[in-house]
Amino acid sequence: MLKIHKSTKSIKIEGNIRSISDVNDIKSTIDSYNLVSGNSFSIEIVNSFAMPSALIGYLLKLVQQDEVKLRLEIHDTRLAELLDDLNLTKVFNISCREDA
């Protein structure tokens, strides 16, 4: 079960991001912030090792088209490595924080 915690200009996602329903929940949560060009937004992904392509595409749109300054803090190195393999580390301003 995916849990999304809202904060000021950031969200924290707990659980593995798997289904299109998960992606839609994340997208609608981010959309609720009404982000515009120049806004900064952070997403902390606590324990997901995957990210569906639909979410990657949505985040790319946020960064490249909407010009939102995105920062991803990822706790699972497998997801960070996947996004790095796709050359998205700098695009999404990814930092990796391994949990002990």
- Give which of 8, 4, 43 is closest to 25, Cα–Cα: 4
**What three-state secondary structure class fits 98?**
coil
User: In this structure, are residues 91 and 63 in contact, taking their beta carbons and an 8 Å threshold?
Assistant: yes
CATH at 87: 3.30.750.24
Length of the chain: 100
Structural domain harbouring 41: 3-96
**pLDDT tens, 34-90?**
999 999 999 999 999 999 999 999 999 999 999 999 999 999 999 999 999 999 999
Total structural domains within the chain: 1
Please tell me which residue, 18 or 1, carries the higher pLDDT value: 18
For the whole model, what pTM was predicted? 0.94
